[in-house]
């Protein structure tokens, strides 16, 4: 294939992606950029150091999710690309006063206050500029693996000094296992999409089936565009999802925030090895609307196969 034909095909592919992302409104900007990058004017401008930037993203991006679903990897991967648009990572943009009250430790409070300040500023901008577009990216994760990750993220809130006590022998592994299966519950996964997407913005992800085989899905509602990726499919589909959603051709995922590498690593690994789940526990975790919407029965069973 000649270089000219290859460039033409690439141009048509870019036009199609612009149309899919933004509809008719995205076509003029695509044409402007294509002329910029493929004409003598563009070459001269680049030589003069006046490049417009290599990415077609124009609107702010919010990595917006319930937590413990792999979002830090996505956020850091996007940050590394230096996209030249505002990039945020938030867990909530609704019930902000309540979020201030429920933090349980000083460290949690400091993180929450920073996020709340950013969230309030963004919500205010959404009100004053209702036509401004925003790109939201969220992830899901099978309920039991996510619950384990949430438990260990804040284990000292429930079992003080757990890692140190386990290392010294004053805390037994069975005590931790019993606490998790008998007492620990967390309702974010079930309520986050209603409380943080539907109530503030009217975006109902449960209104249409999720394409489980594809692993990601794009939603549009008013000035918002939302990409949902399942964590279990992230390595497989991240590049395709970011290409379709943001027009990024060279997205590469970086791995961050691995539980085994943290201070509770030994306890975490021993816990996962010894954990056994009762049928009642599994039914409880897998009966939620969240679980049944984003995962098939076979996928849910596979996610807990090592613990039953």
Which pLDDT band, with edges at 50, 70 and 90, does 49 fall under?
very low
Give the tens place of pLDDT for each residue, 85-122: 999 999 999 988 887 777 655 556 677 788 899 999 99
pLDDT-derived band at 154 (thresholds 50, 70, 90) equals: confident
- Write down the pLDDT at residue 187: 77
Mark 272-289 as b/e (b = at least 16 C-beta within 10 Å): eeebebeeebbeebbeee
| pLDDT for the residue numbered 31 | 63
Each residue of 164-200: pLDDT tens digit? 999 999 999 999 999 999 999 987 877 999 999 999 9
Alpha-carbon distance values, 87 to 90, 102, 137, 200 (Å)? 10, 26, 11, 20
Residue 160, pLDDT score? 95
Average pLDDT over residues 156-169: 94
Tokens of 50: 């006046």
How does pLDDT run across 214-266, given as a tens digit for each residue? Answer: 999 999 999 999 999 999 999 999 999 999 999 998 899 987 655 444 568 89
Phi-psi region at 148: left, alpha or beta (left = phi > 0; alpha = psi -120 to 50): alpha
Task: Read off the pTM.
Answer: 0.79
Give the Cα separation of 72 and 138 in Å (integer). 11
pLDDT digits (tens, 9 = 90+) for 5-45: 544 555 566 566 555 555 555 555 556 555 655 666 555 54
């Amino acid at each position: 294939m000649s270089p000219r034909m290859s460039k033409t095909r690439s141009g048509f592919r870019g036009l199609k992606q612009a149309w899919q992302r933004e509809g008719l409104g995205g076509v003029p900007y695509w044409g402007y950029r294509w002329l910029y990058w493929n004409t003598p004017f563009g070459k001269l401008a680049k030589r003069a150091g006046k490049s417009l930037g290599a990415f077609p993203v124009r609107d702010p991006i919010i990595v917006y999710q319930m937590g413990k679903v792999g979002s830090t990897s996505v956020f850091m991967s996007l940050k590394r690309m230096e996209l030249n648009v505002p990039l945020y990572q938030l867990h909530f943009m609704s019930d902000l006063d309540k979020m201030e009250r429920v933090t349980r430790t000083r460290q949690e409070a400091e993180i929450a206050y920073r996020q709340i300040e950013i969230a309030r500023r963004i919500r205010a901008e959404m009100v004053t500029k209702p036509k401004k577009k925003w790109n939201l990216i969220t992830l899901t994760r099978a309920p039991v693996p996510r619950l384990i990750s949430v438990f260990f993220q804040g284990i000292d809130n429930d079992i003080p000094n757990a890692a140190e006590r386990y290392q010294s022998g004053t805390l037994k592994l069975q005590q931790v296992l019993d606490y998790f299966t008998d007492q620990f519950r967390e309702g974010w996964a079930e309520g986050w999409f209603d409380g943080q997407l539907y109530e503030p913005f009217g975006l109902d992800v449960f209104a249409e089936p999720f394409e489980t085989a594809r692993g990601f899905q794009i939603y549009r509602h008013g000035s918002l565009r939302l990409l949902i990726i399942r964590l279990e499919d992230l390595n497989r589909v991240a590049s395709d999802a970011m290409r379709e959603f943001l027009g990024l051709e060279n997205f590469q995922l970086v791995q961050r925030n691995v539980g085994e590498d943290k201070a509770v690593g030994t306890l975490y690994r021993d816990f996962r090895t010894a954990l056994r789940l009762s049928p009642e526990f599994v039914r409880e975790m897998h009966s939620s609307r969240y679980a049944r919407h984003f995962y098939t029965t076979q996928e849910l069973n596979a996610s807990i196969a090592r613990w039953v």
